[in-house]
Amino acid sequence: MKPQTDRIRSSNRLSLLSTGLALLIAFILLMVYQYVIGYQQMHEELRTEAAIIGANSAAALVFKDFKAAQETLGAVQLTPRITGAALYRADGERLAITGAWPFPPWLDPSNPAPPQKQVATSTMVGHHWLGEVLREDVRLEGSQVGILLLHVSFTSLYWRMLEYALGVLAIAAVALMLTYRLTAGLRRRMVRAEEQLQMMAFYDQVSGLPNRSLFERELRQAAARAAREPKGAALLFIDVDDFKKINDTLGHAAGDQALRMISQRLTAVLRSGDVVARLGGDEFAAILYGIGDPDNAAKVTSQMIETMAHPLLTTPTPSHVGLSIGVLLLPCDVSDPTVLLQRADMAMYVAKTHGKNGFRFFSEAIDARVRKDLELEAGLRQALQNKGGGLWVAYQPQIRSQTQQLAGVEALARWRQPDGQQVSPGEFIPVAERCGLIAELGDWVLNQICRDLAHLRTRGVALRRVSINVSPHQLLHGCGLVEHIGATLARFGEDPQHFEFELTESALMDEDGAVVLDAFHAAGFSLSIDDFGTGYSSFGHIKRFYVGELKIDQSFVQGLPEDAENAAIVRAVIQMARALSLTVVAEGVETLEQADFLRTCGCDILQGYLLGRPMPPDRLVDYIKERRGVE
């Protein structure tokens, strides 16, 4: 703010100097104009006086009357502008003289002094800045009888100019004083308005911190400074975790209150020379100068995260948030603020994908990963816009452990890029969740499943059950998700009882998801808990939401039966599930030993590469016919 204030003061001084210079030039031009006008007026008056004196002295010149001529010139002394006069006869002899000016005794009438200005019959024969000599030819009945010389002083003109200048300056001073007093309030309002404009242009109105525009300017200077100093600097890109919940549950007023508290806590962690700014929304950024060792940046970042562990005292109820922070060490190979923020943002993005409330340093690996995610996002958007071009649904068989008959299939999304390369669901599903494409992808998958089921029926295969995964992000759409699924199945003429939806354990723990689970049950859909044992759900939650099936995560199946701990966990889950009349599915079965152990423990359904890999619909028809066990 101080550099900006200095620039304003400098601009004001320059404006004042320009105004003063303009007034000075105007004053000088005015005085020159007044001098020219005054000089012309005085000269016209003197010519008139010279003509009168010449007419009165004509007789004295003709008769060579010295006394009469002297009396005529004596009247000149009554005029302060004329300091001397002399009368010369036609032959050049001086007849009379008055005043202190040294007129010559003789004047050559045939060779007068070279005139400077000729006006009528008057001629200026001498000129000086203090005065000049005027010549008037004296005539009587058309004949020249003599010459009159007058010495004129400009002192009166100069005094008149001085009085005029003092008057103008006095009037200007009074006007300026009155203007200054009358505009004092206006100037104060203008200063406040300028300060407010500066605040609006460079500072965030909610938090009072610098905004993105001012921060990018500071970041450019920080990059140059870090290149000169040995200790360098660090750029932090800070995203507030779960801030949206505050706005959605408590309102935007509470959200603004939370932003101010977050700003205060971040500022309290930093040193006075560091910079923190709000970039917009729930994003902040900070510059740490002279950071030296990267561990120092890590310590400051950890302090920021720790200071958010205490609840924010928002109204009407306290709020809890976390921070995901990306750290970029300076200097680096670029100095453009936009690129620097992008890199720190990438590191923050990775921190958020690793569970939030943490931090990551930017590296080339992070850059490659984020760029790959961006490419996947662009490709997935293109695929969905092209009616699922490259997307297809694979079906993995689920086999009953006791009868070896087909119990159903799990539908799994697959993606083949235009170059023929298969993209793992573990790569593109998280990308779809993060960029908001998961709802559109889920809708496409459901429609494709209905089309595939119709195709299978034309091949003589009618599946009794299809399991479909539902992302936690889809549950954010509320009961509208269930209504949309029901409408899609009705449009294709499918029976809802043939569909089972697999949810993660986090859906049971989420309060918003509870309403959606009740809606699934009310619509007649079966529910299954996928990857059971990896979350924090309990059998009480499972009973509450009418879950009919548990899927033991493949991480517990691996190593069976040799891994005693996994074996004990699997036995316990199966026993408790059977006590609650729940169907148990084990996924990731790859060996006969695993299948035999699970069958012995009472697991109902097996799923894994041992029993069948995910396959397209046509391959599924051949698989089913080979087994001859469709229920």
C-alpha span between 563 and 560 (Å, rounded)? 5
Both 266 and 348 in one domain: the answer is yes
Determine, yes or no, domain membership for 12.
yes
Q: State the pLDDT at residue 2.
A: 52
Domain extent at residue 125 = 2-158
Q: What is the CATH number of the domain that holds 52?
A: 3.30.450.20
- The number of folded domains in the chain is 3
Q: State the pLDDT at residue 412.
A: 95
Both 249 and 297 in one domain: the answer is yes
Q: Do the strands 275-280 and 233-241 form a parallel or antiparallel pair, or are they unpaired?
A: unpaired
Q: State the pLDDT at residue 500.
A: 93
Crossing angle of helices 294-307 and 252-269, in 10° steps, is 140
Question: Which residues, in sequence order, are bridge partners of residue 288?
Answer: 234
Both 278 and 328 in one domain: the answer is yes
Residue with the two structure tokens 């004053």? 27
Q: State the pLDDT at residue 436.
A: 86
Q: How many residues does the chain have?
A: 631
Phi-psi region of 48 (alpha: psi -120 to 50; beta: other; left: phi over 0): alpha
Asked if 73 and 151 touch (Cβ cutoff 8 Å), the reply is no
Determine, yes or no, domain membership for 173.
no
Both 343 and 442 in one domain: the answer is no
Determine, yes or no, domain membership for 193.
no
Helix H or strand E segment including 188: helix 184-202
Q: Do the strands 499-503 and 526-532 form a parallel or antiparallel pair, or are they unpaired?
A: parallel
C-alpha span between 87 and 57 (Å, rounded)? 8
Q: What is the CATH number of the domain that holds 419?
A: 3.20.20.450
Determine, yes or no, domain membership for 463.
yes
Q: State the pLDDT at residue 221.
A: 92
Residue 166 φ then ψ, to 5°: -60, -40
Determine, yes or no, domain membership for 197.
no
Both 351 and 381 in one domain: the answer is no
Q: State the pLDDT at residue 631.
A: 46
Both 434 and 355 in one domain: the answer is no
Domain-terminating residue out of 318, 335, 362: 362
Q: What angle do CA 527, 531, 537 make, to 5 degrees?
A: 75
Q: State the pLDDT at residue 306.
A: 93
Both 431 and 502 in one domain: the answer is yes
Q: What is the CATH number of the domain that holds 211?
A: 3.30.70.270
In which residue ranges of the chain is pLDDT below 70?
1-13, 15-16, 77-78, 110-130, 187, 193, 195-200, 506-513, 533-545, 628-631
Domain-terminating residue out of 306, 327, 362: 362
Distance of CA 436 to the CA centre of its chain: 24
Neighbouring C-alpha atoms within 13 Å toward the C-beta of 340: 27
Domain-terminating residue out of 309, 331, 362: 362
Determine, yes or no, domain membership for 506.
yes
Determine, yes or no, domain membership for 194.
no
Both 272 and 394 in one domain: the answer is no
CA distances from 506 to 502, 510, 518, 531 (A): 12, 6, 15, 11
SS3 content of the chain, % helix, strand, coil (to 5): 55, 20, 25
pTM tops 0.85, yes or no: no
